[in-house]
């Protein structure tokens, strides 16, 4: 996937009134935060941003070309987007600058591909972990990690430690976390059903069984005493 390039303008004025003016023009106020703490205020076209960033992940590095007083390009993450709770429109964007040659930490999405053997045999797939945290140089940062789980059998699991990572990428997440697990639900359901049937049949069987001895009737006892 080619790098997303966003065109932005340097924003010299700040404040809520200026932000409202920018939004009325169909643009979004934003800030690029650097590693040193320095912040650059910008604004960019709303339609272009939505169209260009559709489908990107939190670990996708975008290029922001800023014109005006800055006239500079930044490689950055889309760190956060603030939205209007009523109509969902983007109100503000926070970018985080990425410096070439400096290691960074990022969360990368995990994509599971394939239909596991265990699922085809009646098992149920569980996917408790959807992303992992890694550390690497910007050039080595993957947008996502895709894993083929078609060979996963029933009662087998895939852990974070089993995920293949490229050279130069360091894992920060707990390696013992389960990423994917196939539970053999069919066998468990059959066993539970058999237990339920056995429990239901027991009282009926006991009621139907003939008694070994019958107590004498009251009349029979009196007749025996007269004899």
Residues 144-156 have pLDDT tens digits of 999 999 999 999 9
> In the predicted model, what is the mean pLDDT of residues 14-28?
91
| pLDDT tens-digit map of 99-116 | 888 999 999 999 999 999
In this prediction, residue 224 has a pLDDT band, given cuts at 50, 70 and 90, of very low
* Position with higher pLDDT, 158 vs 58: 158
Closest-CA residue to 1 (of 47, 62, 49): 62
Burial 194-217 (b: 16+ CB within 10 A, else e): eeeeeeeeeeeeeeeeeeeeeeee
* Range name among 142-146, 186-190, 222-226 with the lowest pLDDT average: 222-226
Going by the DSSP 8-state scheme, the letter that residue 89 receives in this structure is -
- Mean pLDDT, rounded, of the chain: 84
The answer to which of 155-159, 182-186, 204-208 has the lowest mean pLDDT is 204-208
Instruction: Kindly indicate the confidence band of residue 184, based on its pLDDT and cuts at 50, 70 and 90.
Output: confident
pLDDT band at 222 (very low <50, low <70, confident <90, very high): very low
d(CA 12, CA 190) in angstroms, rounded, equals: 69
Q: What is the pLDDT of residue 58?
A: 81
Instruction: State the average pLDDT over residues 25-41.
Output: 89
Question: Is the pTM of the predicted complex or chain greater than 0.85?
Answer: no
- Lowest-pLDDT range of 11-15, 124-128, 146-150: 11-15
Interacting residues of 83 by C-beta distance below 8 A, sequence separation 6+: 89, 90, 91
pLDDT at 137 over 50: yes
**Closest Cα to residue 138, out of 79, 81, 97?**
97
Q: Are 142 and 169 in contact (CB under 8 A)?
A: yes
Strand partners for 94: 31, 80
């Amino acid at each position: 996937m080619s790098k997303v390039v966003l065109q932005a303008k340097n924003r010299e004025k700040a404040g809520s009134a200026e932000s409202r003016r920018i939004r009325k023009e169909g643009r979004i106020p934003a800030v690029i935060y650097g590693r040193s703490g320095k912040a650059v205020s910008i604004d960019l076209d709303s339609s272009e941003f939505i169209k260009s960033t559709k489908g990107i992940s939190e670990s996708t590095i975008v290029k922001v070309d800023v014109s005006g007083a800055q006239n500079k390009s930044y490689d950055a993450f889309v760190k956060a987007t603030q939205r209007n709770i009523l109509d969902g429109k983007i109100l503000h964007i926070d970018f985080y600058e990425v410096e070439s040659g400096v290691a960074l930490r990022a969360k990368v999405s995990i994509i599971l591909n394939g239909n596991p053997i265990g699922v085809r045999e009646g098992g149920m797939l569980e996917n408790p972990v959807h992303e992992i945290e890694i550390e690497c140089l910007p050039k080595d940062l993957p947008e996502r990690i895709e894993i083929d789980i078609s060979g996963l059998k029933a009662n087998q699991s895939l852990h974070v430690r089993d995920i293949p990572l490229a050279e130069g990428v360091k894992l920060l997440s707990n390696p013992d976390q389960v990423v994917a697990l196939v539970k053999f639900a069919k066998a468990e359901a059959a066993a539970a059903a058999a237990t339920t049937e056995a429990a239901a049949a027991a009282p009926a069987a006991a009621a139907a069984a003939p008694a070994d001895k019958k107590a004498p009737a009251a009349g029979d006892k009196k007749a025996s005493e007269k004899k």
